[in-house]
Amino acid sequence: MAASKSKETAKREADRVSSGIPGLDKLIGGGYIVNDIYLVTGGTGTGKTLFCCQFLWEGLQKGEKSIFFSLEELPDDVLHDAAVFGWDFQKYISSGMFSIEYQDPFEMVDIASMVREKIQKFGAKRIVIDSTSIFGMVFEKEHELRKSLYNLIKQLKGIDCVVLMTAEVVEGSKGLSRYGVEEFVVDGVITLASTNVGGEFFLNLQVKKMRRTPHEKGLYPYEISTKGIEILSSK
Ligand SMILES: Nc1ncnc2c1ncn2[C@@H]1O[C@H](COP(=O)(O)OP(=O)(O)OP(=O)(O)O)[C@@H](O)[C@H]1O
Ligand SMILES: [Mg+2]
């Protein structure tokens, strides 16, 4: 019994996928879990897109295929921003390991099926969807928006990948995402926040939720430098 338990534990550990953010994996029990969907949420400019690029870049270094679905920024802008950190995604596009897909928000008729199909065809292991906040521009009726978002998340379950989705939160809002659907349906939520202390701004990360794993719950300061995001101190 004990032997089979430790086998299971070993398998779970092997299934962990590194975040690419120095200092983060140990806060989340060793890394992300395959088949889980995570929400990276925070105010504007807190580093959500960067956080996701770093995750994909890490995967590419390990030979894992990845796709970035950009619903906001044009692919060239994302690639250009990433290049500033020394991440040459273009090289991996050429070698067929990486794909960046731009989806015009106003043509998002059935984004869920489109995304699922592309992931399966490409054989990607790491997926990013940036950002779910754009859904609000497309759907006039709130129930339609929630339904579409819920359907997208459902379609991303069970496809043998780790998925990071971003959501912008409005400054001062108490919610974790703009529409309040994402945080309940996803398996984990990581928040990035900028706090003003006496006119100085500090960035901190918090793991709000992480299903099926023990995780740290405190606020962890992080910095953005020329190397990307890094957790400054982790107990
Ligand atoms: N070399 C750098 N050194 C320090 N900070 C940097 C550097 N490059 C970018 N940044 C910070 O990263 C932020 C941009 O990160 P990113 O685009 O990932 O944020 P975001 O949360 O996705 O924003 P948005 O709400 O616009 O989508 C910038 O606002 C800037 O503060
Ligand atoms: Mg962004």
- Give the residue whose CA is nearest to atom 25 of ligand 1: 44
Q: How far is the CA of 210 from the centre of ligand 2 (A)?
A: 22
Q: How far is the CA of 134 from the centre of ligand 1 (A)?
A: 18
DSSP 153: H
- pTM of the predicted model, to two decimals? 0.92
Mean pLDDT over 2-29 rounds to: 76
Residue of 209, 219, 220 lying closest to 185 (CA atoms):
209
| Residues having CB within 6 Å of any atom of ligand 1 | 42, 44-50, 168, 224-226
Question: Per-residue pLDDT tens for 88-122?
Answer: 999 999 999 999 999 887 776 678 888 999 999 99
Report which of residues 139 and 26 the model is more confident about.
Answer: 26
- Give the residue whose CA is nearest to atom 23 of ligand 1: 45
Q: What is the mean pLDDT of the chain?
A: 89
Task: Tell me if 224 is assigned to some domain.
Answer: no
Residue of 69, 42, 32, 52 lying closest to 167 (CA atoms):
42
From 21, 40, 48, the mutation candidate for ligand 1 (largest count of ligand atoms within 8 A of CB) is 48
Range of the domain at 91: 32-191
169 pLDDT higher than 90: no
Q: What span, in angstroms and rounded, lies between the C-alpha atoms of 203 and 223?
A: 7
Which tokens hold the place of 207? 């793991």
Tokens 């995780």 identify what position? 215
203 pLDDT higher than 60: yes
Task: Tell me if 139 is assigned to some domain.
Answer: yes
Residue pair 133/168 in contact by the 8 Å Cβ criterion: yes
Task: Tell me if 201 is assigned to some domain.
Answer: no
Q: What span, in angstroms and rounded, lies between the C-alpha atoms of 10 and 5?
A: 9
Task: Tell me if 26 is assigned to some domain.
Answer: no
Task: Tell me if 8 is assigned to some domain.
Answer: no
Task: Tell me if 119 is assigned to some domain.
Answer: yes
pLDDT range class, residue 147, cuts 50, 70, 90: confident
Residue pair 97/65 in contact by the 8 Å Cβ criterion: yes
The CATH number of residue 132's host domain is 3.40.50.300
Q: How far is the CA of 121 from the centre of ligand 1 (A)?
A: 31
Task: Tell me if 133 is assigned to some domain.
Answer: yes
Number of domains comprising the chain: 1
Ligand positioned closest to the Cα atom of 222: 1
Question: Per-residue pLDDT tens for 43-90?
Answer: 999 999 999 999 999 999 999 999 999 998 999 999 999 999 999 999
Q: What percent of the chain has pLDDT over 70?
A: 89
Q: What span, in angstroms and rounded, lies between the C-alpha atoms of 151 and 203?
A: 32
Q: What span, in angstroms and rounded, lies between the C-alpha atoms of 151 and 182?
A: 11
Q: What percent of the chain has pLDDT over 90?
A: 65
Q: What span, in angstroms and rounded, lies between the C-alpha atoms of 229 and 74?
A: 22
pLDDT range class, residue 13, cuts 50, 70, 90: low
Task: Tell me if 18 is assigned to some domain.
Answer: no
Q: What span, in angstroms and rounded, lies between the C-alpha atoms of 125 and 116?
A: 12
Ligand positioned closest to the Cα atom of 70: 2
20 pLDDT higher than 90: yes
Q: What span, in angstroms and rounded, lies between the C-alpha atoms of 195 and 110?
A: 37
Residue 52 alpha carbon, nearest atom of ligand 1: 18
Residue of 145, 25, 20, 32 lying closest to 87 (CA atoms):
20
Q: How far is the CA of 50 from the centre of ligand 1 (A)?
A: 7
